[in-house]
Structure 1
Amino acid sequence: MTENIAAGSPAHDAPSPTDAYVGDPAVRAEWDNRYADRQQLWSGRPNGALVAEVAGLTPGRVLDVGCGEGADAVWLARSGWDVTALEVSGVALERAAGHARDADVAVHWVHAALADAALPPASFDLVSAQYPALLRTPDAAAERALIAAVAVGGVLLLVHHAGMDTRQPNESGFDPADYVWPSMVTALLGDDWVVEVDEQRARVAPEGGAGAHHTDDLVLRARRLR
C-alpha cells in the first residue's frame, strides 16, 4: 500500500486512474467501464436514507464505502463530517474529487476495494455503505471489514435495494449469491452491538441516475457498544 492510499488524498488533489489501486484489477476495470459509458451515472444528490439516518448524529469521522461520484461524501463534508471516501473505480474518484473541489470541501480519497484497503480498525464514528456492490467471499471479508471499521459508540449504516437479494440470476450476469446483503452483516454482529434499525421502507430516491427505478430500501443501522 502506498502512502497516498493509506492516508488518502485531499479534495484539491484529484485521484488519477493511474494511482496505485489496492484490490482486484478486474473489479476495478468493470466499474471503470460502467462509469466511462456515461458522463454521469448517479443523480448527484445524497441518498435519502443516509440523510434521514444521519440527522440525529454528531459529526465525527465517517467512512463512505463505494462513494461513486461523491454526492454522499460531499454532503457529509458540508455537514461537518471528516470524510474518508473509498471507491474501486478511478473514473468515479476523479469525478468525486472534482465535485468536492467545486464544493470547496476536503475529503480523504481511498482507491481500493473495501476488504483490501487496510483501514485503521475501530476508527470511524459512522461507516456508511449505500447500495454497495460488495462481493461475497467464503471468509466474509467485506462484511467483517465493515464491522471492524466502526469505532466504539459508532454507527454502521448499510442500505440496499429491497428484493435484490432474492432475485434469480439473469442473462446480464447478475447473481445475488455473489454479493453481500444486510442480513449477512446482521448475522455477524455480536453482543457488543445493538441493532437500532432493521427494516424495509419506501425509498426516498433522488431524481435521475441509475437505480432510480427501485422503490424500497432495506435499512440496517447498528451501534457498536464496546
Structure 2
Amino acid sequence: MSDATTWDQRYAGTDRLFSGNPNTALVREVAGLTPGTALDVGCGEGGDAVWLARQGWTVTAVDVSGVALRRAAGYAAEAGVSVDFQRHDLTASFPVGTFDLVSSQFLYSYGDFPRERILRRAADAVAPGGILLIESHQDHGPGEHPPIRFPSPAELLAGLEPAPGEWEVLRCAEHPRAGEDRTDSTVKLRRVAR
C-alpha cells in the first residue's frame, strides 16, 4: 500500500485527525519573524498553514494525502486566507522554489520513509537569510506506534549535512511537550545570506 493510500485511509477514518490548532513550537519559533514566503512540509489538515497565512505569510503547503489537503483547503476558506496547497509524495517530488521559512512539524510516515533525505531537500529550499524549522518527537508517547527511531537534535542536525559557514544554528534542543508526558525537539537554522 502506498503512503498516499495509507494516509488517505487514516484521514478518512475520522472527521478530524488533528486539533486544527497550530503547533506550539511553530508559534513560539516564528513569533517575531517578518512574514515572507513559507513552505509547510507535511501540512496535514492545514492548522499550521492557516495560522501562518493569518500572520501574513504567503504559504505553500504540501502533503501526500488528498483527503487531508481537501480538508485543509476547506479550513483555509473558512478562515478567509489563501494557501497554495499542493499534493506531493515527498519521496518522489518537492515544491519548486525557495522560501523564507521552511517548516517541518513532526514529519513521519510508515515503512521505509527517507525522512533525513526529505529534510535535506527541505533545507535546500530555504532562501538566503531564511529559516529552517524542524520539530520532532523524542519518544513515542502513549499507545501503540510503528517502530520509529527518533534521532536526537544533534543527530538530526548532523544528518542535514549543513555546509560549514552556510548555516547559523539558532536552536538545537529537546523540550517537554506542553500538557503531555512526552519530549519533543526543535532544530532551527538560519541560512546565512551572502
TM-score by length of 2: 0.86
Q: Which residue of 1 aligns with 2:28?
A: 52
Q: Following superposition of structure 1 onto structure 2, how do residues 94-113 of structure 1 map, counting pairs within 5 Å?
A: 94-113=70-89
Give structure 2 stretches of 5+ with no counterpart: none
Q: Following superposition of structure 1 onto structure 2, how do residues 10-29 of structure 1 map, counting pairs within 5 Å?
A: 26-29=2-5
Secondary structure (helix, strand or coil) at the match of 2:2 reads: helix
Following superposition, the deviation at residue 118 of structure 1 comes to 3.5
Matched, 1:127 2:99: no
Q: Which one of the candidate residues 170, 190, 193 is aligned to 1:223?
A: 190
Is contact 2:138-2:152 (8 Å) kept? no
Q: Which one of the candidate residues 175, 178, 183 is aligned to 2:147?
A: 175
Is contact 1:143-1:180 (8 Å) kept? no
Matched, 1:193 2:171: no
Give structure 1 stretches of 5+ with no counterpart: 1-24, 206-212
Is contact 1:158-1:182 (8 Å) kept? no
Q: Which amino acid aligns with 1:193?
A: W
Following superposition, the deviation at residue 184 of structure 1 comes to 4.9
Is contact 1:49-1:204 (8 Å) kept? no
Q: Which amino acid aligns with 2:163?
A: G
Give the 3 Å change call, closer, same or farther, for CA 181–199 of structure 1 in structure 2: closer
Is contact 2:153-2:174 (8 Å) kept? no
Q: Which residue of 2 aligns with 1:43?
A: 19
Matched, 1:141 2:117: yes
Following superposition, the deviation at residue 201 of structure 1 comes to 1.2
Q: Paired residues, what number? A: 186
Secondary structure (helix, strand or coil) at the match of 1:85 reads: strand
Is contact 2:37-2:99 (8 Å) kept? yes
Distance in 2 (CA, whole Å) between partners of 1:111 and 1:66 is: 10
TM-score by length of 1: 0.75
Distance in 2 (CA, whole Å) between partners of 1:214 and 1:35 is: 25
Secondary structure (helix, strand or coil) at the match of 2:49 reads: helix
Q: Which one of the candidate residues 93, 97, 103 is aligned to 2:69?
A: 93
Give the 3 Å change call, closer, same or farther, for CA 94–56 of structure 1 in structure 2: same
Secondary structure (helix, strand or coil) at the match of 2:102 reads: strand
Distance in 2 (CA, whole Å) between partners of 1:180 and 1:112 is: 25
Following superposition, the deviation at residue 49 of structure 1 comes to 0.3
TM-align CA RMSD: 2.3
Give the 3 Å change call, closer, same or farther, for CA 181–71 of structure 1 in structure 2: farther
Between 1 and 2, higher relative CO (CA 8 Å, sep ≥ 6) is seen in 1
Give the 3 Å change call, closer, same or farther, for CA 180–149 of structure 1 in structure 2: farther
Is contact 2:171-2:188 (8 Å) kept? yes
Q: Which one of the candidate residues 10, 34, 55 is aligned to 2:10?
A: 34
**Overall identity of the aligned pairs, in %:** 43
Q: Which amino acid aligns with 2:104?
A: A
Deviations 1:160-211 (A, max 9, x none): 12224xx9xx986x2225x887545411112111111011112236xxxxxx
